[in-house]
Chains A and B, each alone.
Chain A
Amino acid sequence: MSIKNIIAPTFFICLILPLLSFSETIKYDKVKLKRAEIELIEDRLLDVGIFIFDPNIPEDIEDNPLVFPEIRKAEARYIPYHLKNTLEESGFWGGVWVLPDNTKAMDLNVSGRIIKSNGYDVSIKIGVWDISGKQWLDKAYKARVGQSSYSKRRDLTQDPYQSLFNEIANDLQKIKSIYLSKQLKRISEIGDLRFASDLIPSVFNNYLVQDNKTNIYKISRLPADDDPIMQRIGDVKERELLLLDTLNEYYAQLYREISIPYEEWRKSNRQNAINYEELKRSARKRQILGAVAILGGIMVDGDSNASGYAQQGLMIGGIQAVQSGFAKSSEAKIYKESMKEGGDSFDSEAEGLLIEVEGQTLRLTGNAQEMFLEWKRLLKQIYTEETGINLKEDSAQ
């Protein structure tokens, strides 16, 4: 027996062994939410605004058939709302609102981008800034969702993606815990002044200084506690929060209406995604294995009967493996189609709900815009009446 005859099968075995021995053990993380054990003092309670997330819909939607635009848009509202619920549940925060747009009424702003969400894998990028402009967090969160997360016997207030929500909430709490109460209070004061500066820039711009390099705001002076114009600005801020409360009622409606079909979609999509990935992996393995076997067969050299049988066996086995690889690949396509069908169905259901909530949001914010402009004008007039100082044309800070 020549050396070649020994090397070829050994080479072949070395190649296929890692493929055969490959088995995946999936560990599903369960992150528990940290909850405040005692009621926090007011200075430690920051108001949090969570922007509607970036749905991250790819431009070339044709090339991404498993990304469903309307589902993504619904998720972009559902996920922030559930994060709001989680933060509220933790007891570490003041008011928490979902925001349709930028506002200076919040102490902490959370923005997010959906990277992936198919019921099995979820990945979200989160950015958090306080109102002074300081960044708290810039992190991508990932979670793999287990079958038990969809169980009807679980605590149903917990979303299947709950671990991810808990992780975000815990990280935010951890960062906040580093701050002293007076530092947190200072953030709120900066927030009040930025809000005031937005309404009457020519009066309140001087109360704040923005660092040229970091763009972070600092307080240069504070208004008196009983400053009447600040009290009125506080009244306007309360109305902004009232408007946000109302808008959040609409988001809550969407959240409620979508929660069950969304969970059903995620559950079925998860199973299809697992099957699809598994079949795709299996197909790939078989095709590689078959190719290696054919290659091994070609490399077997010898005149003996044994080497002839080995060559024949490897060639036939290889061809069969490649064929079964193609069969698995076709089977995987069925699951892909199934995911597409399920997605398309929920996609159109979500669209109707989204149109409703978006319409209400635009109507409310559009109407409120006019009211706020009126208050802005009145506040300037009141300031002039009370102080005798004529204000110049304002430019917002």
Chain B
Amino acid sequence: MSAFKSYFLVLFLLLSGCATQQMSGSSQGKQSPSSSGGMPSSSSSGGMPSSSSSGGMPSSSSSGGMPSSSSSGGMPSSSESTNQEGQNGNKSNKDENTMPTQAGISGQQTGQSASSIFNESLGDFDKEMAGERDIIAASNQGNSSMTAQEIADMESIMGADLDGPIDISGDFGNDESEGNNDSEEEFTGEMSEEEISRLPSCVDKDGSGEDKIARQLRVFAIKEDDPNIRNEIWKQYLKHMGIGQSQIEECLSK
């Protein structure tokens, strides 16, 4: 009887061992594709690379003399790009930061001539660059760093006997609230309905916790009519506010 019991016990242990092994095997099977990084990460393509190259120049490219894309840029390779012609490739997971080559592809699908697609893409590129420069201008205005010459000029102005405050914030500050020279003061200007509708869900209406750069980025974004450029400025704003890449994308996709 005891031998019989032992037999059952061994059988039970063997069976439960197999089951455990099977379970762990299946869980590994699920984990492995995701851990291998098989899923394209949308944040990697458009987001700012977290670290820079070691100061060396990017490798030279053969395409029109333009710098080659690096892994941190996360851009598709040239073959990937050229193979997209005539395909119904799903590019929905592509970052908005990417310059709009989709115009060309969709144009071909709708029967546009190569020449008109070309001209259209030039215009898109110009807009993209203009947006980029708006962002730079905004951060320059918000940036307190001045060249030695500018500081010397400032010192000489401040040293002079002038009545009243000196406005160094430029036109931008005046747009928001007249006579407001305090860079740390929060955004308090009243917004129209349309302007409120341009605020992403995760951005506070009252602009609490903003510094000067953030405040100026907010104003630029609200005033921007082009939704792509506006989105880009909001991205910079949220990044500046220390919000993580995934949260930024979640916020802007709403």
Residue A243 interfacial (CB < 8 Å): yes
Task: Please name all residues of chain A whose beta carbon is closer than 8 Å to the beta carbon of B121 when the two chains form the complex.
Answer: 371, 374-375, 378
Given contacts A362-B53, A378-B118, A382-B115, contact A369 B61 (CB under 8 A): yes
Q: Is there contact, CB below 8 Å, between B99 and A242? A: no
Partner of A100, one of B58, B76, B81, B125: B58
Q: Is there contact, CB below 8 Å, between A358 and B53? A: yes
Task: Please name all residues of chain A whose beta carbon is closer than 8 Å to the beta carbon of B126 when the two chains form the complex.
Answer: 239, 242
Task: Please name all residues of chain A whose beta carbon is closer than 8 Å to the beta carbon of B128 when the two chains form the complex.
Answer: 367
Residues 364-397 of chain A: 1 if any B CB is under 8 Å from the residue's CB, otherwise 0?
A: 1111111111111111011001000000000010
Residue B199 interfacial (CB < 8 Å): no
Partner of B132, one of A235, A359, A364, A376: A364
Given contacts A76-B55, A256-B143, contact A362 B136 (CB under 8 A): no
Q: Within the complex, what minimum Cβ distance (angstroms) separates B211 from chain A?
A: 16
Q: Within the complex, what minimum Cβ distance (angstroms) separates A171 from chain B?
A: 24
Q: Is there contact, CB below 8 Å, between B81 and A375? A: no
Tell which of A51, A103, A253, A359 has the most Cβ of chain B within 10 Å.
A359
Q: Within the complex, what minimum Cβ distance (angstroms) separates A290 from chain B?
A: 45
Tell which of A105, A155, A157, A242 has the most Cβ of chain B within 10 Å.
A242
Task: Please name all residues of chain A whose beta carbon is closer than 8 Å to the beta carbon of B52 when the two chains form the complex.
Answer: 354-355, 357-359, 362
Partner of B118, one of A101, A260, A375: A375
Report the Cα distance A76→B53, complex, angstroms: 13
Q: Within the complex, what minimum Cβ distance (angstroms) separates A165 from chain B?
A: 15
Q: Tell me the A326-375 residues at the B interface (CB within 8 Å).
A: 354-355, 357-360, 362-375
Report the Cα distance A80→B97, complex, angstroms: 28
Q: Within the complex, what minimum Cβ distance (angstroms) separates B81 from chain A?
A: 5
Q: Within the complex, what minimum Cβ distance (angstroms) separates A257 from chain B?
A: 5
Report the Cα distance A57→B56, complex, angstroms: 10
Q: A-B pairs with CB below 8 Å: how many?
A: 193
Residue B31 interfacial (CB < 8 Å): no
Q: Within the complex, what minimum Cβ distance (angstroms) separates B47 from chain A?
A: 8
Q: Is there contact, CB below 8 Å, between A249 and B101? A: no
Partner of A372, one of B48, B59, B66: B66
Q: Is there contact, CB below 8 Å, between A367 and B65? A: no
Q: Is there contact, CB below 8 Å, between A370 and B81? A: yes
Partner of A363, one of B49, B63, B140, B148: B49
Task: Please name all residues of chain A whose beta carbon is closer than 8 Å to the beta carbon of B117 when the two chains form the complex.
Answer: 378
Report the Cα distance A375→B117, complex, angstroms: 9
Interface of A is mostly: helix
Task: Please name all residues of chain A whose beta carbon is closer than 8 Å to the beta carbon of B58 when the two chains form the complex.
Answer: 100-101, 362, 365
Q: Within the complex, what minimum Cβ distance (angstroms) separates B161 from chain A?
A: 21
Residue B139 interfacial (CB < 8 Å): yes
Q: Is there contact, CB below 8 Å, between B65 and A198? A: yes
Q: Is there contact, CB below 8 Å, between B143 and A253? A: yes
Partner of A367, one of B63, B68, B75, B146: B75
Report the Cα distance A375→B120, complex, angstroms: 11
Q: Is there contact, CB below 8 Å, between B122 and A239? A: yes
Partner of B129, one of A52, A235, A246: A246
Report the Cα distance A354→B52, complex, angstroms: 8
Partner of B60, one of A101, A232, A257, A259: A101
Q: Is there contact, CB below 8 Å, between B125 and A239? A: yes
Task: Please name all residues of chain B whose beta carbon is closer than 8 Å to the beta carbon of A259 when the two chains form the complex.
Answer: 147-148
Report the Cα distance A378→B61, complex, angstroms: 19
Residue A236 interfacial (CB < 8 Å): yes
Q: Is there contact, CB below 8 Å, between B78 and A373? A: yes
Q: Is there contact, CB below 8 Å, between B55 and A369? A: no
Q: Within the complex, what minimum Cβ distance (angstroms) separates B69 from chain A?
A: 4
Report the Cα distance A363→B118, complex, angstroms: 23
Residue A102 interfacial (CB < 8 Å): yes
Closest to A238 in B: B122
Report the Cα distance A367→B48, complex, angstroms: 12
Q: Is there contact, CB below 8 Å, between A101 and B64? A: no
Residue A152 interfacial (CB < 8 Å): yes
Closest to B108 in A: A381
Task: Please name all residues of chain B whose beta carbon is closer than 8 Å to the beta carbon of A374 when the two chains form the complex.
Answer: 81, 101, 104, 121
Q: Is there contact, CB below 8 Å, between A371 and B99? A: yes
Q: Tell me the B90-131 residues at the A interface (CB within 8 Å).
A: 97-99, 101, 104, 113-115, 117-118, 121-122, 125-126, 128-129
Residues 12-50 of chain B: 1 if any A CB is under 8 Å from the residue's CB, otherwise 0?
A: 000000000000000000000000000000000010111
Closest to A70 in B: B55
Task: Please name all residues of chain A whose beta carbon is closer than 8 Å to the beta carbon of B136 when the two chains form the complex.
Answer: 246, 249-250, 253
Report the Cα distance A195→B60, complex, angstroms: 14
Q: Is there contact, CB below 8 Å, between B61 and A102? A: yes
Report the Cα distance A371→B63, complex, angstroms: 10
Report the Cα distance A155→B148, complex, angstroms: 9
Q: Is there contact, CB below 8 Å, between A370 and B129? A: no
7 more A-B residue pairs beyond the given contacts A240-B64, A260-B147, with a C-beta to C-beta distance below 8 A: A100-B57, A365-B66, A365-B73, A367-B98, A368-B125, A369-B66, A370-B81
Q: Spell out A's residues near B (CB within 8 Å).
A: 51-52, 55, 57, 69, 72-73, 76, 100-105, 152, 155-157, 195, 198-199, 232, 235-236, 239-240, 242-243, 245-246, 249-250, 253, 256-257, 259-260, 263, 354-355, 357-360, 362-379, 381-382, 385, 396
Q: Spell out B's residues near A (CB within 8 Å).
A: 46, 48-55, 57-70, 72-76, 78, 81-82, 85, 97-99, 101, 104, 113-115, 117-118, 121-122, 125-126, 128-129, 132-133, 136, 139-140, 143, 145-149, 151-152
Query: Would you give 11 A-B contacts (Cβ < 8 Å), ordered by A?
Result: A101-B68, A198-B62, A235-B122, A239-B126, A359-B50, A359-B72, A365-B69, A367-B75, A370-B75, A378-B121, A385-B114
